[in-house]
Amino acid sequence: MALRIIFMGTPDFSVPTLEALAEAGHDIVAVYSQPPRPAGRRGLELVKSPVHRAAERRGIPVFTPADFRDEADRAAFRALDADVAVVVAYGLLLPEAILTGTRLGAYNGHASLLPRWRGAAPIQRAIMAGDAETGMMVMKMDKGLDTGPVALTARLAIGGDMTGGELHGALSAAGAALMVEAMARLEAGDLPLTPQAEEGVLYAAKIDKAETRIDFSRPARNVHDHIRALSPFPGAWFELAGERVKVLGSRLAGEAPGHAPGTVVDDPLAVACGDGRAVRLVRLQKAGGKPLDAADFLRGTPVVPGTALA
């Protein structure tokens, strides 16, 4: 038999899980997603979320409450008479009335190895910290922020040059398969639940615009991890002749003794960092331009050794 599922998610990351649950034969009785947001150059067009659009393609009813403070929204949720809610990057902290508004509760697909990196930006924070491993976890939700007991885990290695975008895709696919397994086991009555450890708790704060600028005074490894964590979005950046340039790819480049941090030490684009080592910038993008490999970027914007990047 299939479960009656309410799916709750918003970005591209969540779509594979919605699709996988539907393909597995479950009855997705409704989808909840963040309300359409202004977009376009003037912000005049309201754009539906990726999950909203995916649900409509399947003919699934979509609800977009701004929150669940209104009792009418809570009552509508309960009236769906679902077995379980599945939550993947929905974007709201759910009240207890929603967490207990289905027969079996709510299960969340979270992109970290809990209790490490609870919160909004676990993918970027894991890379920025230089973690060698992360994963997807399915947990039963409670009132805390990613504090509930864990049901299933899928572990993934983080390659030394892997970007946030690459890890995002790998975790999204892994999370879809893991949630399908979790729902099958929940339906069969054999889904285990293990309380999270009390040690090792870290919070993955939302990425702030103020921290996207590259600080070349930091060690090269940290600079490299910062760049790849924020690629492709929102993108780490520096200024060149007063113009902002995003860096979408980098590599560690060896020793750079005697050079001030931020100085281009050779061609193409090895930049000195604070520990006497260098990071090579391999993919860049000017504001309003398209992403370019370093060689193509330098053909249009020559940057000679000795140039200081700010």
* Annotated binding-site ranges: 112-115
Tokens 């929603």 appear where?
98
CA distance 108 to 147: 11
CB 178 within 8 A of CB 109: yes
Q: Is the peptide bond before 268 cis (omega within 30 degrees of 0)?
A: yes
Alpha carbon of residue 149 to chain centroid: 21
Cα–Cα distance list, 49 to 62, 87, 144, 189, 200 (Å): 11, 15, 25, 33, 34
3-state secondary structure of 222: helix
3-state secondary structure of 38: strand
**Angle between helix 15-23 and 50-57 (nearest 10):** 20
CB 150 within 8 A of CB 173: no
Single-letter amino acid, residue 65: P
Question: Which segments are annotated as binding site for (6S)-5,6,7,8-tetrahydrofolate?
Answer: 112-115
